[in-house]
Amino acid sequence: MVGRGNKPSALAATPGLAPQPTVTFSSDNSRVTAELPTGESVEILLYGATVISWKDSKGDEKLWVSSAAKLDGTKAVRGGIPLVFPVFGPPPASGHPTSSLPQHGFARTSVWEFLGKSTSESNPTSGDASGSANAADLSVKLDFGLSAASLTAEVRELWPYKFNLIYSVTLNRENLTTSLVVTNDDDKPFESQVLLHTYLRVNDISSVSISGLASSTYIDKVANASVGTQTADTLSIASETDRVYTTPNGASDVVTVSEGGKTRYTVARDNLLNVVVWNPWTEKAAGMGDFEPKEGYKNMLCIEPGSVGTWQTLEPGDAFEGAQTITIPL
């Protein structure tokens, strides 16, 4: 379990093998860090299973986290990759099973269990016949779990369904994959929504363009939930933006974030039909107590794959799986 006292401080590589990914725990067992031999790293807070850092081999951070974010388990983290389940945004009006839950549900404010790690290695890249670990495509996968039994009695009363969530974070040299499997362990169906609330770091939001959303319909939350269609090939951010896109080709449409005309990130989805694009801009950022610095909106962009356009109904024993892969140019 999360709090066991004899948890090792590090899971080291087997002696005699080429350098392998390492997994370490913080002294209070509140977070897990994985690092590849080539220097890439990812850090996950067990509170919410929130990814709070993803760095490339040079140590450059790819995720934006507010300097005022609470990382002590007292509040959902502002930044990184919070998990949204079983409801996206403010819950619907009274009468829906999620109506008593807080905004974005309880997954991001629950303590998850670390289930373990696994590593893989493919053939060395062409041009390097040494077979060294630096030339190989190493990856490390971290698994986390949350079930109804893990919730507080208060939350179980608000949403009294038996469920199981498995969240996997996979790091390799050029990308980060996060996937969530939702299983209905109850004897009755339930409805839910899933979203990966990803805060990408950028240098200057005014130089950013987003492609891959052309011809998508969207709900514009800034404009009273009006419905529109993305007619331009690219989207730029110049004011508060909060849109829920449904891409015309489903999850096969890849979203690309460019900055200064160069690709910064590509976001591929698996079974997540919606993409939320969010930036709070000046006034909204100023009104959020945990958003710091207030000028931070210039350095972040939320591209959030999810299944939130409607409700996913899971029958007893059924499962839903969705994933995103964020790729950076090497």
Q: Is 230 annotated as a binding residue?
A: no
SS3 68: coil
Tell me the three state secondary structure of residue 297. helix
Q: Which residues contact 329 (CB under 8 A, 6 or more apart)?
A: 174, 262, 263, 264
Amino acid letter for position 259: E
Domains and CATH numbers, the chain: 18-327 (2.70.98.10)
Q: Can you give the pLDDT at residue 18?
A: 77
Where are the alpha helices (H) located in 145-298, listed in sequence order? Answer: 153-158, 281-287
Radius of gyration of the chain (CA): 20
197 noted as active-site residue: yes
283 catalytic residue (yes or no): no
Closest CA to 192 of 274, 283, 80, 314: 314
Task: Consult the annotation and say whether 201 binds a ligand.
Answer: no
Please report, in tens digits, the pLDDT of each residue of the chain (330 residues total).
Answer: 445 455 555 555 555 567 899 999 999 999 999 999 999 999 999 999 999 999 999 999 999 999 999 999 999 999 999 999 999 999 998 889 999 999 999 999 999 999 999 998 764 444 443 344 444 579 999 999 999 999 999 999 999 999 999 999 999 999 999 999 999 999 999 999 999 999 999 999 999 999 999 999 999 999 999 999 999 999 999 999 999 999 999 999 999 999 999 999 999 999 999 999 999 999 999 999 999 999 999 999 999 999 999 999 999 999 999 999 999 998
Distance CA 33, CA 44 (A): 6
**Any idea which residue has 């900055």 for tokens?**
259
Residue 221, classed as helix, strand or coil, is helix
- Which letter does DSSP use for residue 158 in this model? H
**264 annotated as ligand-binding:** no
What contacts 6, CB < 8 A, 6 or more positions away?
none
Of the residues 174, 197, 240, 321, only one is catalytic, namely 197
Set 157, 304, 315, 321: catalytic member: 304
